[in-house]
Amino acid sequence: MKLLKHILTILVTLSVSFISAQEVEFFAKVSKHKLGINERLRIDFIMNQDGDNFSPPDFSMFTVVGGPNQSVSNSWINGVRTFKKTYSYWLAPKKRGVFTISQATIYVDGSAFKTSPIKVEVTAAVELPKDPNDPNYLASQNIHLVAEVSNTNPYLNEAITVVYKLYISHKIAVDNVNEIDTPRYNDFWSQNLDTKNQKVQSGKYNGEDYRYVIYKKAVLYPQKTGRLNIEPLSLDIALRVPTNRRDIFGSVLMARANKTVSAGSKTINVKPLPEMGKPQDFTGAVGDFTFDVATTKTELDATESLQLKVSVKGKGNLKLFKLPKVSLPSSLEVYEPEHDEKVKTNLSGMQGSISDSYTVVPQYKGKYPIPSISFSYFDLKTESYKRLSSDEIVINVLNGPSSGTSGNVNKVVSAGNKQAVVLNSDQFAFIKTRTDFSEVQSSFFFKTKLFWSLFLLPFIAIPLAVIVRRKKEARDADVYGNKIRKADKLARKYLKGAKKSLGQKEAFYIALEKALHNYLKAKLRIETSDLSKDKITELLSGRNVDNEVINAFNSILERCELARYTPIDIVTMQEDYEKASKTISLIDKQAR
């Protein structure tokens, strides 16, 4: 009886173990659900049965800095087998936000099993724990990103600069730098400056010797007053740091690490422009400027045109304000201005000039004044408003119809709103009321030169038409000749297209290759399928073409094939075009 109970116990245990073994568990686990952009995330995919074809999820929002690492554990406890297999990844976030890590997939005995999606929140950079034995901590102590702001208390629309310097200790070596979080400069007009080919310089950071490079520069013009935030710049850096171990030669061994550094956010307190003394025509110009109004001519005839140019030069927010409008007499027709900007931006801000050029066409004789135009701006040096005014310009229209408004020169019209010309009672005084009439002499068409020309024209045209028609029939009957002429025409067309495409690499070499093929089809009477290098060489040699010319032709064809995949400048394209034209000309002369 006891033996029977023992056997039943063993059978039940084995049954439970068998049933448990059939239950597949596959899940994902992350080291943290909330982390800073300068931290690393570990994610493990764990299964209790060995599977096939493991497929990880899409990590597009992260950079995989480690993994996949695989570990397997297999144990028996009290007769029960425990199996565990883990795939591990280490991830670096690319930007801030809330992201969902999608499902991973594994196949066990032909059935697919998937993990549940996991949400992870990435915040701004956080302070990392201090561990002197951790390579990441060592990296954080020897590499720093600093944002230097030229002015933290500017006026509205006053230029400030942000320079990001990357300080690197002499103890570590940098392998790669990747920008993962770019500041958006909200509430600023911004322009990034070129930092290519920056040299590594020597400097101090917290009193210690460092190397540094200027990674990024930007010019900002605040567009709001009050406290504005400049978002941090974050970089992911692959580097090597020294360890406490040494090799057999006594040299310090280096450990690889990834470090995310952040410049930290900056707060700018923007002052409003003073209301006291602000001119009514002030449009937001801030800086140091000169103002000019000029015309291309002051004397002309009616219906001729002149150019009136309103320009501002200097240093300041040149792209962020409007130029004053001009007001002209109503008898001057004015067209919408053409705006032109010649502005360069460097660390000191915008410099250059902007202008509006008006086309003016006088309609009547007279003298027309262009009144003085004023321009106001806020001067940062004196912290006060300044007004600049132009001189009055008189336009003298020498010749043309008179107008009743010529004596009333004070009436003006805005350049953007034309008004009808006001005329007086003498508006038709220029029309002549006395004329000298003379008798019209009668003439006859019959027997004139024109009569005989029209009479004989059909007799001359009919024979010419017969000759032209016969030549056309003979030309149409020449099938081979027509084919050659058509191919020649097509070759010229494509060669012309290649010339038009100079500077556009792919379009140029496609057109050039088509021109060469069509020329050969016309010259050698071969089809496109026969255009092999050996066939071309054989046929051209049979036509007594020099080997040097044949090789040049084949080299151009090879260049057309390879040029699409290699960098080519416009000078090389021009040389290839000229070489193709010369080669076609030589073949045409030598071929028999």
pLDDT given for residue 154 in this prediction = 95
371 with 260, same domain: the answer is: no
Residue 192 phi/psi, 5° resolution? Answer: -80, 140
Identify whether 211 is part of a domain.
yes
Identify whether 392 is part of a domain.
yes
Residue of 199 and 294 predicted with greater confidence: 294
pLDDT given for residue 437 in this prediction = 62
96 with 58, same domain: the answer is: yes
Residue of 518 and 526 predicted with greater confidence: 518
pLDDT given for residue 491 in this prediction = 56
109 with 153, same domain: the answer is: no
- What is the tens place of the pLDDT at every residue in 212-266? 999 999 999 999 999 999 988 888 888 888 877 776 666 777 788 878 888 878 8
pLDDT given for residue 421 in this prediction = 46
pLDDT band at 297 (very low <50, low <70, confident <90, very high): very high
259 with 309, same domain: the answer is: no
Token duo for residue 80: 């029960």
264 with 145, same domain: the answer is: yes
202 with 146, same domain: the answer is: yes
379 with 298, same domain: the answer is: yes
Write down which residue in 270, 294, 313 finishes a domain.
270
d(CA 376, CA 378): 7
Residue of 156 and 127 predicted with greater confidence: 156
Mean pLDDT of 299-311: 92
- Of 78-87, 88-97, 444-453, 504-513, minimum mean pLDDT range: 444-453
pLDDT given for residue 434 in this prediction = 62
d(CA 105, CA 59): 14
Identify whether 452 is part of a domain.
no
pLDDT at 313 over 90: yes
pLDDT given for residue 556 in this prediction = 83
- Of 79-88, 152-161, 375-384, 557-566, minimum mean pLDDT range: 557-566
d(CA 489, CA 493): 6
Mean pLDDT of 490-504: 69
pLDDT given for residue 455 in this prediction = 77
Identify whether 464 is part of a domain.
no
Whether the CB-CB separation of 17 and 80 falls below 8 Å is answered with yes
335 with 250, same domain: the answer is: no
Identify whether 239 is part of a domain.
yes
Mean pLDDT of 445-450: 73
**Mean pLDDT value across the chain:** 81
Token duo for residue 589: 């002369």
List the strands of the sheet with 299-300, edge to edge. 299-300, 393-397, 366-370
Please give the full DSSP string across 394-453, using - where no structure is assigned: EEEE-SS---TTSS-TT-EEETTS--PPP--TTTTTTS-------PPPP---TTSHHHHH
pLDDT given for residue 317 in this prediction = 95
pLDDT given for residue 68 in this prediction = 81
d(CA 88, CA 90): 7
Q: Which domain holds residue 160?
A: 135-270
331 with 405, same domain: the answer is: yes
299 with 248, same domain: the answer is: no
Identify whether 466 is part of a domain.
no
How many angstroms separate the Cα of 164 from the Cα of each of 228, 234, 265? 18, 10, 12
**% of residues, the chain, pLDDT over 70:** 81
d(CA 403, CA 422): 9
What CATH number should be reported for the domain holding residue 89?
A: 2.60.40.740
pLDDT band at 517 (very low <50, low <70, confident <90, very high): confident
pLDDT at 319 over 50: yes
pLDDT given for residue 166 in this prediction = 93
185 with 259, same domain: the answer is: yes
Write down which residue in 123, 146, 163 finishes a domain.
123
- What is the tens place of the pLDDT at every residue in 460-494? 888 888 888 888 777 777 665 665 565 456 556 66
pLDDT at 133 over 70: no
Identify whether 446 is part of a domain.
no
Identify whether 2 is part of a domain.
no
What CATH number should be reported for the domain holding residue 365?
A: 2.60.40
pLDDT given for residue 396 in this prediction = 92
- Of 34-43, 128-137, 245-254, 296-305, minimum mean pLDDT range: 128-137
What CATH number should be reported for the domain holding residue 483?
A: 1.20.120.330
108 with 162, same domain: the answer is: no
- Of 409-413, 486-490, 517-521, minimum mean pLDDT range: 409-413
How many angstroms separate the Cα of 136 from the Cα of each of 64, 237, 395, 584? 16, 11, 75, 66
Mean pLDDT of 50-71: 83
pLDDT at 346 over 70: yes
Whether the CB-CB separation of 232 and 264 falls below 8 Å is answered with yes
- What is the tens place of the pLDDT at every residue in 14-53? 544 444 445 888 899 998 899 888 788 889 999 888 887 8
pLDDT given for residue 423 in this prediction = 47
Our count of domains for the chain comes to 4
pLDDT given for residue 438 in this prediction = 66
pLDDT given for residue 13 in this prediction = 53
Write down which residue in 100, 123, 146 finishes a domain.
123
